[in-house]
Amino acid sequence: MDREKLPNHIAIVMDGNGRWARSKSLPRLAGHNAGMIALKEIVKRTSSLGVKHLTVYAFSTENWKRPENEVGGIFNLLVHYVERELEELNQNNVKVKIIGDYNKLPKKAVQKIEEALIKTRDNTGLQFNIALNYGSRDEIVRATKLIADKVANNEMKAEDITQSIFKEHLFTSAIPDPDLVIRTSGEKRLSNFLLWQSAYSEFVFTDTLWPDFTPECLEDAIKEYQKRVRRFGGLK
């Protein structure tokens, strides 16, 4: 792996917790718990490598369709994750950010999220972006409405709208587009994750289930990324 050619921003669809649990005859929440443990190691390795941004798909707008006990269990795990890991994240200069409408989560989860945001807001190392209650189509509709309101209120003209203006109204307005998108578990789709932002991202798909995704797997994905030639629609 070439340390001089690291992706600036890595985004991950953490898929396969349920299948991991089923393969071991465990309840699904055991898979989500194992996924949290895997996440801790990936954050540590990403930070130590010097990658600037890591975005993970933790809970989508579609995940509300899952059984109530599983959804509640995921949020409880989120609370425990913050309680266990916040001090270490802060000590390692990691800045936590949330993309998505997290205020619709349970009150305890919202409190812990805001605690993490406040405690790490001045950190200058890895920016750890957690997508919570996030869906890219909803994000795009939300941005469109915000811009439409400004046009209606004569704050801007329709002809002034550009791609840059549109980006400013996304949850990721201050975050560079991902260079590398990784999806675990063998599925090969985005599942409503960073649709606008990943227009020119490189994709790496792996059959490894998320709880088994190790820092070595991450480095393998980065090595694969470094083999790619990125043209952004032009010529080499």
> Tens-digit pLDDT profile for the chain (236 aa)?
899 999 999 999 999 999 999 999 999 999 999 999 999 999 999 999 999 999 999 999 999 999 999 999 999 999 999 999 999 999 999 999 999 999 999 999 999 999 999 999 999 999 999 999 999 999 999 999 999 999 999 999 999 999 999 999 999 999 999 999 999 999 999 999 999 999 999 999 999 999 999 999 999 999 999 999 888 777 76
User: Which entry of 2, 8, 15, 17 is annotated as an active-site residue?
Assistant: 15
Run of H or E residues at 113: helix 107-120
What is the amino acid identity at position 82?
V
Q: How far apart are CA 234 and CA 232, in angstroms?
A: 6
User: Which entry of 8, 17, 33, 63 is annotated as an active-site residue?
Assistant: 63
CA distances from 113 to 64, 151, 222, 229 (A): 19, 33, 29, 38
Is 63 annotated as catalytic? yes
Q: What pLDDT, on the 0 to 100 scale, is given for residue 123?
A: 98
Q: Which residues make Cβ contacts (< 8 Å) with residue 54, sequence separation at least 6?
A: 9, 10, 11, 12, 42, 43, 46, 126, 127, 128, 129
CA nearest to 131, candidates 190, 204, 214, 51: 190
Q: How far apart are CA 147 and CA 161, in angstroms?
A: 8
Taking only the tens place, the pLDDT of each residue in 56-87 is: 999 999 999 999 999 999 999 999 999 999 99
Q: Kindly report each contact of residues 18-21 with a partner whose C-beta sits within 8 Å and lies 24 or more positions away, as own/partner.
A: 19/185, 19/209, 20/209, 20/210, 20/211, 20/212
Q: What is the CATH number of domain 3-135+177-227?
A: 3.40.1180.10
Is 138 annotated as catalytic? no
